[in-house]
Amino acid sequence: MAAVLTERDEWASAFPVVILLVSVLTIGISWSFGRLVQKSQALSGELKRLENHDKLTNVASREFFFAEMERRPSVHGVILMVDLDRFKSVNDTYGHLVGDVVLRDVATLLAGNIRGEDLICRFSGEEFLIFLNRQDETTGASIGERLRSVVEKRKIPIGATDPVRITVSLGAARMDSISNLKVAITAAGEALCRAKSGGRDRLVVGWSDIETSAMEDAA
């Protein structure tokens, strides 16, 4: 006598198939959701990076620099203020697009010649602010002079025409604590002004009358 399946028996026999379909759908939905979360996190990270970095030079923004320094309440070190010499003449001679190339190139050079624990931001226009974490006056002056020399020797490619060469002037000041940050920036700015008025392409430190330049090194 042939077995007759009841509706309940038929449902029970199909149950494993239903479970399999549900599992497949669940895995597919979970995978898709996971991908969306990853994309969302990546997008959020990129937006955060753009928010924290200067769009032209890709170094830190001024706002991020100060915010990051505030997150380091016990920091001390050396502040460097760096300014491109005669940058206006680059814009006037080659145009602002080439000026942007020069600015980006110098920013990359500066960022590439400091440590990961140091900070660099575009402070304003063609000025950059660098914090050398836990460095003393001697090391800070040595790093500043190395940065000056690296930029001076760089030939910046700008396309079909001859590469552009540019120099920088630097002012340095000691920063003993985060409460001293603005004072140190002011002192570095004043030292930078002395470097500019003293002939450019040189480092002037705010803690003594020491100054270095390419001309003095050659002598």
The residues carrying an active-site annotation are 126
Phi, psi (deg, nearest 5) at residue 203: -110, 130
SS3 119: strand
In 10 A of CB 110, how many CB atoms?
Answer: 20
Give how far the C-alpha of residue 164 lies from the chain's centroid of Cα atoms, to the nearest Å.
23
Sheet harboring 211-213: ordered strands across? Answer: 119-124, 127-133, 77-84, 168-175, 202-205, 211-213
Residue located via tokens 């500066």:
110
Question: DSSP labels for 72-111?
Answer: -TT--EEEEEEEETTHHHHHHHH-HHHHHHHHHHHHHHHH
| Nearest-angstrom CA–CA distance, 41 and 28 | 20
